[in-house]
Amino acid sequence: MDPRPRPEPPLVVAVVPVRDEAGCVAELARRVHAAVASASARCEILFVDDGSRDGTAERIAELRAADPTLKSIHFTRSFGHQAALSAGLRFARADAVVTLDGDLQHPPELLPQLIDAWRAGADVVHTVRQGPPGRPGWKERAGRLFYAFLARISATPIVPAGADFRLLDGRVVAALNELEEHFVFVRGLVPWLGFPETRVEYRPEPRFAGHTKYRLRPMLRLALDGILSFSVLPLRVIGLLGAATALFGVLFGIFALVAHVAGRVEASGWTSIVVLILIFGGVQLLSLGVVSEYVGRTYEEVKRRPRYVIDRMQGIEWR
């Protein structure tokens, strides 16, 4: 890795998507400022409010009144975590940008280590989540299985047990902002760009306040975005499945004909007919469902609707 010269002291912007995190934003701002200052860097924090309804916007405004290095973007409604990340990266102007969640499960005290790795030459510093000691929970196991599966079906080197807690050099952020796809999976887009990278392990902390927003449905939606954005394997599986069922039908037809000629089958049975109808019908419906997902995403892309709608911004000039 051939390190490029880094400005000193660098300006580091922390992009923090938040939704109903009124109890966390003050503590997060305090710890981020302290961590970045210990790395001899300048710090700004950009909160992206993804449609909060618990007073998060008002709490951020109070913090901004006392600290002009805090900035904020407020959506008209919730557009999702990945859209909030995209908005933060779009308006962050810095030598390096750190993205982390607003619930303090991503420890801000790790920021000096990320900045040191960036100074050593890495344009992308991923963090790799380590599970708690002992037997991992179902979320941990499911996450690792998903990323292992995604890495096998995709040409992009997806970071196993990766998180949206990373440091990006300014030129990486600029390259990301040139990508205009509607369905954003940042954990796949960053490695796809191919910039020099390194990894740092961390252990998540307990949530500081509030409750998790990543329940089963958002997790499944994120997983679907990852698979369909970085692999056409489901479409290829449809072709193989169609070939396999066609072969099965031919072989079954030959078997039935031979059995009938040999006198071993007196009359066609309803069971075999029903089984064949269910098999072929199920395969067709499954195939239509997968193709529909790809077609639907193409439809959303060609409409060219924005990923998010901004209600207001504080401390940021429109560009």
CATH 2.10.69.10 fits 11-218+305-314, yes or no: no
Percent of the chain clearing pLDDT 70 (strictly above) = 78
DSSP helix, strand, coil percent of the chain (3-state; round to 5): 50, 15, 35
What is the maximum alpha-carbon separation in the chain?
Answer: 92
pLDDT at residue 77, as a whole number:
94
Higher pLDDT: 205 or 233? It is: 205
CA-closest candidate to residue 24, choices 1, 5, 52? 52
pLDDT in tens, 113-143: 999 999 999 999 999 888 665 455 666 676 6
pLDDT in tens, 267-278: 556 666 766 776
pLDDT in tens, 237-254: 777 777 777 777 777 777
Entry pTM:
0.77
Judge contact between 134 and 75, C-beta under 8 A: no
Domain residue ranges of the chain, discontinuous segments joined by +: 11-218+305-314, 233-303
pLDDT in tens, 149-166: 666 767 677 777 677 899
Mean of the per-residue pLDDT values of the chain: 82
